[in-house]
């Protein structure tokens, strides 16, 4: 009997009633390790009702008390870090140290959200007019939804839940059906930390559950992270239904390598950023753009030697640099892309297709793959592969490298490796991308700055975490007040012109 994963509603685990389930796999072996219930429209509506009832009191709790719940939650997660990381790794396929990073980067946003008392402070203008004061306050939206991808099953749910809950909202989290166990356990830990039952609910599910959230009147905002076609669908549907939405999509992150770069560091960082987590990161580097033939030749050689030493294996094996892909379909997609790249005429320097991990022959492993002389007309350049495949697109000069990054339809992250401050500055100012690394391969901003891609990597006006997240999860109310002075006097009578502050 495989483990059955239901939902987390009203502060407890509940079994699904829809009769529909999805398999949760062990990607190392390709076998089913659990089944997850897929929520029906009615089950989602019930979770929303529970959340709406719990939100009223939670919103009335002062922000410092809400922050204390978050602080306690951080301690509980840290106590359970090892078990959570192994659980996450077992469903996703990333290594245990990488899984700890996933949880840690989520906790950093919870730490940031404990600043809610400060972040929710409004503005105050005294004597804005004669005897008139004006002040603003930030109020929660009500019930909000978080819809998250498989590749960061701890970090992204926590990026959503931290600011939303700290601001006084209740949340329905719809995590990926591929690796639902960690989001479920995190919700349980929130309740152990003192979060009132019903404030955070997890509904597992697929399109039916998502559509139920998008069409329910009580859901006031939708935070989504996943692939671009779904991000576009969710953004247009949610906004058409009058909801606030921020939807983050796919990526094709470039790393520009200038002739003056530290090439050993660039090669080390490229291997980590290209192949870490089997390339299943939205901030993975998937295109390296060396400037000049000499830089390109040297870089390819350095990459080849490093790739030779990479160890791909079971995600719980301490020797593995990276583990399997998340699903059979993911492996198939990556293998297809490698074939497409070959047919398109790219130079296949390292072919990862034949990799077999001893003892795990049915696991969804793909070896590190390197294509050289990739050009902008190729599909392997244009499309997100989301696997351990790195492309080299050679250019002759800096302006051409900048143009490549700027003309790509995605604009999530980008990096430049150089020793020149002037080049780096120019690049940071002119590149058309949301997050920029200077000699930093994966420039995921720290929690108190914001995270968000441009172009077809992000839809909506505000970013994730940092000050933007509190703006996204609150609405501003502005109060203009005056008080009668002393004894009641004679009213000046009605005025029929727009009030001005005299
Ligand atoms: P996905 O788009 O398949 O799924 C994301 C979420 O949407 C899941 O909860 C899923 O159940 C739901 N979903 C899937 N199909 C749906 C449909 N037809 N209608 C409604 N909901 C649907 O993405 P994924 O495979 O889980 O994650 C990988 C993708 O996420 C990659 O493209 C990656 O670049 C992207 N990603 C982006 C960021 C970012 O911040 N920009 C971060 C992480 C991942």
| 179, 368, 434 from 387: Cα distances, Å | 18, 9, 22
Per-residue pLDDT reduced to its tens digit, 221-257: 999 999 999 999 999 999 999 999 999 999 999 999 9
Supply the Cα-derived Rg of the chain in whole angstroms: 25
- Over residues 394-419, the pLDDT tens digits come to 999 999 999 999 999 999 999 999 99
DSSP 213-265: HHH-TTEEEEEEES-HHHHHHHHHHHHHTT-EEEEE----EEEEE-TTS-HHH
Does 466 contact ligand 1 (Cβ within 6 A)?
A: no
Q: Which DSSP category does 276 fall into? A: G
Q: Band of the pLDDT at 495, cuts 50, 70, 90?
A: confident
Q: What is the mean pLDDT of residues 53-69?
A: 98
Judged against a pLDDT cut of 80, whether residue 132 lies above it is answered with yes
As a whole number, mean pLDDT of residues 185-196 equals 98
Residue 489 C-alpha to ligand 1 middle, in angstroms? 64
pLDDT at 488 > cutoff 70 = no
Which residues have CB under 8 Å from 126's CB, separation 6+? 133
State whether the beta carbon of 372 lies less than 6 angstroms from ligand 1: no
Which residues participate in catalysis according to the annotation?
282
pLDDT, mean over the chain: 97
pLDDT bracket for residue 500 (50, 70, 90): confident
Rounded distance between C-alpha atoms, residue 252 and residue 407, angstroms: 11
CA of 401: how far to CAs of 291, 398, 406, 427, in Å? 7, 5, 9, 10
How far does the centroid of ligand 1 lie from the alpha carbon of residue 252, in Å? 15
Q: What is the pLDDT of residue 489?
A: 65
Q: 492, 160 in Cβ contact below 8 A?
A: no
* pLDDT at residue 185 is higher than 80: yes
Q: Note whether 453 and 443 are within 8 A (CB).
A: no
User: Domain map of the chain by residue range?
Assistant: 3-249+457-478, 253-438
**pLDDT computed for residue 326 by the predictor:** 98
pLDDT per position as a tens digit, 256-315: 999 999 999 999 999 999 999 999 999 999 999 999 999 999 999 999 999 999 999 999
* Rounded CA separation 411/425 (Å): 18
CATH number of the domain located at residue range(s) 253-438 in this protein: 3.40.309.10
Helix residue ranges, H only, 7-40: none
Q: In 3-state terms, what secondary structure has residue 284?
A: coil
Q: Is 434 in the pocket of ligand 1 (CB under 6 A)?
A: no
- Ligand 1 centroid–CA 149 distance in Å is 4
Say which CATH architecture domain 3-249+457-478 belongs to.
3-Layer(aba) Sandwich (3.40)
The answer to whether residue 368 scores a pLDDT higher than 70 is yes
For residue 417, give the nearest of 251, 264, 307, 252 by alpha carbon: 264
Q: Look at ligand 1, atom 23, and give the residue with the nearest C-alpha.
A: 226
Ligand 1 touching residue 150 (CB < 6 A): yes
CA dihedral sign of residues 288, 294, 297, 298 = negative
Residue 487 has pLDDT above 70, yes or no: no
């Amino acid at each position: 009997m495989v483990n059955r994963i239901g939902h987390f509603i009203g502060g407890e685990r509940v079994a699904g009633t829809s009769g529909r389930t999805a398999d949760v796999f062990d990607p190392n072996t390709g076998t089913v390790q659990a089944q997850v219930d897929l929520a029906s429209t009615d089950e989602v509506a019930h979770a929303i009702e529970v959340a709406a009832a719990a939100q009223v009191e939670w919103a009335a709790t002062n922000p410092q008390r809400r922050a204390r719940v978050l602080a306690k939650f951080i301690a509980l997660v840290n106590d359970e870090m090892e078990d959570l990381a192994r659980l996450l790794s077992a469903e996703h396929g990333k290594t245990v140290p990488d899984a700890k990073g996933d949880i840690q980067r989520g906790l950093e946003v919870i730490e940031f959200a404990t600043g809610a008392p400060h972040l929710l402070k409004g503005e105050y203008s005294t004597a804005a007019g004669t005897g008139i004061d004006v002040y603003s306050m930030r109020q929660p939206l009500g019930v909000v939804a978080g819809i998250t991808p498989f590749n960061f099953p701890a970090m992204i749910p926590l990026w959503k839940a931290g600011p939303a809950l700290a601001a006084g909202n209740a949340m329905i989290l719809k995590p990926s059906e591929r690796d639902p166990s960690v989001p479920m356990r995190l919700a349980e830990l929130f309740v152990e930390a003192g979060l009132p039952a019903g404030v955070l609910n997890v509904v597992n599910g697929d399109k039916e559950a998502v559509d139920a959230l998008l069409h329910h009147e009580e859901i006031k905002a939708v935070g989504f992270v996943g692939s671009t076609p779904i991000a576009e669908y969710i953004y247009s549907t949610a906004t058409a239904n009058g909801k606030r939405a921020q939807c983050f999509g796919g990526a094709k992150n470039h790393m520009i390598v200038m002739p003056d770069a530290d090439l050993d560091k660039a090669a080390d960082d490229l291997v980590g950023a290209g192949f870490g987590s089997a390339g299943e990161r939205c901030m993975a580097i998937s295109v390296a753009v060396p400037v000049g033939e000499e830089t390109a030749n040297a870089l390819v050689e350095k990459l080849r030697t490093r790739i030779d030493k990479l160890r791909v294996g079971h995600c719980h094996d301490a020797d593995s640099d990276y583990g399997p892909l998340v699903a059979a379909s993911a492996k198939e997609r990556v293998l297809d892309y490698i074939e497409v790249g070959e047919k398109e005429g790219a130079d296949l320097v390292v072919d990862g297709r034949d990799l077999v991990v001893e003892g795990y022959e049915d696991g969804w492993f793909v070896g590190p793959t390197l294509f050289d002389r990739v050009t902008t007309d190729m599909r392997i350049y244009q499309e997100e592969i989301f696997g351990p495949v790195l492309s080299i697109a050679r250019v002759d000069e800096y302006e051409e490298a900048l143009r490549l990054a700027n003309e790509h339809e995605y604009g999530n992250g980008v990096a430049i490796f150089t020793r020149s401050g002037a080049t780096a500055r120019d690049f940071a100012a002119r590149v058309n991308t949301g997050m920029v690394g200077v000699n930093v391969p994966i420039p995921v901003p720290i929690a108190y700055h914001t995270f968000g891609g441009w172009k077809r990597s992000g839809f909506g006006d505000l970013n994730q975490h940092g000050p933007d997240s509190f703006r996204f999860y609150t609405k501003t109310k502005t109060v203009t007040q005056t008080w009668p002075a002393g004894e009641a006097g004679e009213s000046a009578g009605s005025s029929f012109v727009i009030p001005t502050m005299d």
